[in-house]
Amino acid sequence: MLVIIEDIVDSGRTMDYLLRALWARQPASLRICTLLSKPSRRVIEVPLDYIGFDIPDEFVLGYGLDFDEKYRNLPFIGIMKA
């Protein structure tokens, strides 16, 4: 079993590309786990097996997610306000 661990799935384009590449190698099974999912932004539907949180269409940062190489080290996930 192959499990992809992703921080955030937004449009689904990157995950779709990755899934196509991995399925071409014929794994026995493939699952996707994401901490954050933005279903309202989805352009390509991808099968997400494990979702931590569905979030609204907001720019989030912290806990590894950054803006211009900043805020990645925050111990929480927050919404970027202009």
Q: Is 7 a catalytic residue?
A: no
Q: How far apart are CA 22 and CA 30, in angstroms?
A: 8
- 38 forms beta bridges with none
Residue of 7, 10, 54, 66 marked active site? 10
User: Minimal CA–CA distance to 3: which of 35, 49, 39, 42?
Assistant: 49
Residues classed as catalytic: 10
